[in-house]
């Protein structure tokens, strides 16, 4: 039976690669993005998230076999918190009833190796309390204080912690829905392209994310990992953050962290 999969961030990068992969396998994909997609919605706002859930539900006819949240931004701006954390968790919560209606539902999100880097704990705490207003107020304060660079890592760290906490609950594991994350290192995507063009920034990035195995990854590498996580073959993996990062996590945090 053809599966129905919703993919956010479907217009570029990892999301686009995953859409192409799933479509080639015969799945029906519902793409969600700001501009070119089946569902056009701004996931940084409550209005956009509500619209996305409603339109996906209509196109899916009440049943989704999988949801993959790839949409994200790396800007040193509060929008990183709105999209990378609240845009993901609110959308997954809204689409969960459609997953419950499927026989073998699966869900996955895109995290980041950046989630292991220095963060703004107050932003994370507000995210995990589901207090978007407080999270954005703290994010704006971080930007004003010159620490906007910590917002992307903070959003991804909060997302990983939410996933670990949520995946094993009755609503997810109890309902037979594996929920996992892939945390990439540096991916050759439109989001990263400007950084690679700046030699100084490229040097900083290479020091922050060393990738001894094959260097930077193409989007399709990450898409392949997501594809397996939402496959029917994944029956027992849940709550996991899988680092597809060329060895960056093992290099940076050492063998004691696993």
- Residues with a known catalytic role: 152
Main-chain phi, psi angles of 179, to 5 degrees? -135, 115
Alpha carbons 74 and 155: distance in angstroms, whole number: 10
Quote the CA–CA distance of 246 and 56 in Å, as a whole number: 34
**C-alpha closest to that of 8 among 88, 82, 74:** 88
* Residue pair 28/2 in contact by the 8 Å Cβ criterion: yes
Positive or negative, the CA dihedral 27, 23, 40, 110 is positive
**Nearest to residue 108, comparing CAs of 80, 70, 158?**
70
Give which of 41, 52, 14 is closest to 229, Cα–Cα: 14
Q: Give the residue from 108, 37, 22, 75 showing the smallest Cα distance to 194.
A: 75
What is the rounded CA–CA span in Å between residue 157 and residue 110? Answer: 11
Distance in angstroms (rounded) separating the CA atoms of residues 195 and 222: 19
Q: Listing from the earlier edge strand, what are the strands of the sheet with 66-69?
A: 39-40, 28-33, 4-8, 66-69, 106-110, 179-184, 241-244
């Amino acid at each position: 039976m053809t599966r129905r999969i919703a993919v956010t961030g479907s217009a570029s990068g990892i999301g686009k690669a995953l859409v192409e992969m799933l479509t080639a396998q015969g799945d029906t994909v519902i793409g969600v993005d700001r501009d070119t997609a089946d569902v056009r919605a701004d996931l940084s706002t409550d209005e956009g998230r509500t619209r996305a859930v409603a339109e996906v539900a209509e196109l899916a006819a009440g049943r989704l076999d999988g949801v993959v949240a790839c949409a994200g931004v790396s800007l040193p701006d509060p929008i990183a918190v709105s999209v990378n954390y609240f845009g993901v968790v609110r959308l997954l919560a809204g689409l969960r009833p459609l997953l419950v209606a499927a026989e073998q539902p699966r869900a996955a999100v895109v995290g980041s190796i950046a989630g292991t880097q220095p963060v703004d704990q107050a932003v994370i705490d507000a995210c995990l309390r589901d207090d978007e207003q407080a999270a954005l107020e703290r994010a704006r304060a971080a930007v004003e204080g010159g620490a906007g660079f910590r917002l992307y890592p903070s959003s991804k760290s909060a997302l990983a912690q939410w996933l670990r906490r949520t995946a094993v609950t009755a609503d997810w594991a109890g309902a037979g829905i594996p929920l996992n994350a892939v945390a990439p290192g540096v991916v050759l995507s439109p989001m990263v392209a400007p950084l690679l063009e700046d030699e100084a920034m490229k040097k900083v990035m290479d020091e922050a994310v060393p990738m001894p195995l094959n260097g930077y990854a193409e989007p399709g590498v990450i898409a392949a990992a997501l594809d397996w996580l939402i496959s029917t073959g994944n029956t027992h993996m849940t709550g996991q953050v899988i680092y597809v990062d060329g060895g960056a996590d093992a290099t940076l945090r050492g063998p004691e962290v696993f």
